[in-house]
Amino acid sequence: MYLGAPLEIFTKYGLSGASRWGHVLAGITWIGLLYYFNFVQVPAFAQMSPEARAEAMDKLAWRALWWFRWSAAITAATGLLILGFNEQYKNSYFKSAPGISIATGILLALTMLGNVWSIIWPKQRVVIGNARATAAGGTADPAAPAAARRAALASRQNVIFSFPMLLFMVGTSHFFNDSRHFKVLPSGGERGVYWIIAIVIWLVFELNAVGVIGGTDPGPLKWPYETHRNAIITGVALAVVYYALWEIILRV
């Protein structure tokens, strides 16, 4: 990923630092709005009258979604810039403990970005379009309830992924790089075991959230998504499980 000598002028003038700064600014905007939607807006909308809710969707949710999806795109772009502007990321970096940490964080974050742009935003457009049409006296869109459900599942899955994702974003330079605690260069076998377990966990969650596993109707598999409390509990548990993988497989 290291872009090499031609870009040294940029590293000299601090674009590496600038991308890290921009990355955290965009990242907190994205994840802050994700938590606002899940912890504040959804419960508040459930208590509003249909008229008040339609107006709030039109004036408030619409704006929030603009900042949400563009801050998500900028977070990913600046994150990739950090990778490009730093010499440390070349060669065998992704075999080292910090490399494995940031690769896991990026896997979760890019999945979240995909959920925003391919599910949450298109489905919310249907939901808000329906609210606007019915408020103006038009007929209800029969696709709206299913769209709302799919958006909710993907949004709560993003809450769940955000907990371990931030553990890895922050941990890469602050604790998973501690050579007294974690192996600087784990063996190929250790890396293999780590990645198989980490990827299976990630895949099962994502397939469950998009309905490939178990459909989208409520059921035992959908427990993590039914309330924001369940999503928070699942997110913390998932972060603990991922951290346990490090303690069991990658510890010195």
Residue ranges binding ligand HEM (CB under 6 A) = 20, 23-24, 27-28, 30-31, 75-76, 79-80, 82-83, 102, 106, 109-110, 113, 166, 169-170, 172-174
Minimal distance, residue 118 CB to ligand HEM, in Å: 14
Residues 236, 203: Cα–Cα separation, whole Å: 18
**CB nearer to ligand HEM: pick between 61 and 169:** 169
What are the percentages of helix, strand and coil residues in the chain, rounded to 5? 80, 0, 15
Smallest separation, CB 195 to ligand HEM (Å) = 18
Encode burial over 182-197: b for 16+ CB neighbours within 10 A, e otherwise.
bbeebeeeebebbbeb
Q: By C-alpha distance, which of 182, 30, 221 is closest to 117?
A: 30
Q: How far is the CB of 132 from ligand HEM (least distance, A)?
A: 30
Closest residue to ligand HEM, based on beta-carbon distance: 79
Q: What is the dihedral of CA 89, 95, 99, 101, to 10 degrees?
A: 170
Minimum CB distance to ligand HEM smaller for 24 or for 245: 24
Taking the complex as a whole, how short is the minimal distance between the CB of residue 85 and ligand HEM, in angstroms?
10
Instruction: Give the shortest CB-172-to-ligand HEM separation in angstroms.
Output: 4
Taking the complex as a whole, the smallest distance from the CB of residue 181 to ligand HEM amounts, in Å, to 17
Question: Looking at beta carbons only, is 114 or 214 nearer to ligand HEM?
Answer: 114
**Which is nearer to ligand HEM, 169 or 232 (by Cβ)?**
169
Q: What is the 3-state secondary structure (H, E, C) of 3-72?
A: CCHHHHHHHHCCHHHHHHHHHHHHHHHHHHHHHHHHHHHHHHHHHCCHHHHHHHHHHHHHHHHHHHHHHH
Specify the residue, 184 or 248, whose C-beta has the smaller distance to ligand HEM: 184
Both tokens of 140, joined, read 């209800």
Sign of the four-CA dihedral 165, 10, 177, 22: negative
Task: Rank residues 166 and 197 by Cβ distance to ligand HEM and give the closer one.
Answer: 166
Nearer to ligand HEM, 149 or 202 (CB): 202
Q: Least separation, in Å, of the C-beta of 180 and ligand HEM?
A: 18
The values of phi and psi at residue 182, to 5°, are: -115, 150
